[in-house]
Amino acid sequence: MLSNPVVNICANSQKIEYLLGQVAWETAYFSTVYQPKDGGAGLIHMIPANWQINAEDMDKLWPGNNYVAKVREMGYKFFQTPVYGWRSVAAWYKLTNRVIPGCGKDLFE
């Protein structure tokens, strides 16, 4: 995901450090990618209310992958799957964070 042209931050070790630090925090240092209390899942604790929006954003960033259908089919396991989970993080950083009032920024920038 880091080297994908949509993200392209491999040359910036500080941005990588920030991203991995956030993911480590969100997953209790990579020990969990599911929270039964609220049903949230993934590398940045995506709550179910944001799954559809995040998948739509993933489809905008990487067209032709039909992430929306995959989320509907897989549920929280979608966000636990490494290839989808990391792209979900990228979509959150690029677009989906707009669900937080006052955000809506490219967090990679």
DSSP 64-102: TS-HHHHHHHHTHHHHHSHHHHHHHHHHHHHTGGGGSTT
Mean pLDDT over 26-39 rounds to 91
Q: Note whether residue 104 is domain-resident.
A: no
Task: Indicate the number of domains in the chain.
Answer: 1
Q: Note whether residue 3 is domain-resident.
A: no
Q: Note whether residue 40 is domain-resident.
A: yes
Range of the domain at 68: 13-99
How far is residue 108 from each of residues 9, 17, 74, 105, measured CA to CA in Å? 8, 11, 28, 9
Q: What percent of the chain has pLDDT over 90?
A: 94
Q: Note whether residue 78 is domain-resident.
A: yes
The closest of 56, 55, 32 to 45, measured between CA atoms, is 32
Whether the CB-CB separation of 72 and 65 falls below 8 Å is answered with: no
The answer to whether the pTM exceeds 0.85 is yes
- So what's the pLDDT on residue 18? 94
Q: Note whether residue 105 is domain-resident.
A: no
Q: Note whether residue 106 is domain-resident.
A: no
> What band does 39 get if pLDDT is binned at 50, 70 and 90?
very high
Q: Note whether residue 107 is domain-resident.
A: no
Q: Note whether residue 58 is domain-resident.
A: yes
Q: List, in sequence order, every residue forming a beta bridge with 46; answer none if it has no partner.
A: 41
- So what's the pLDDT on residue 79? 96
> What band does 76 get if pLDDT is binned at 50, 70 and 90?
very high
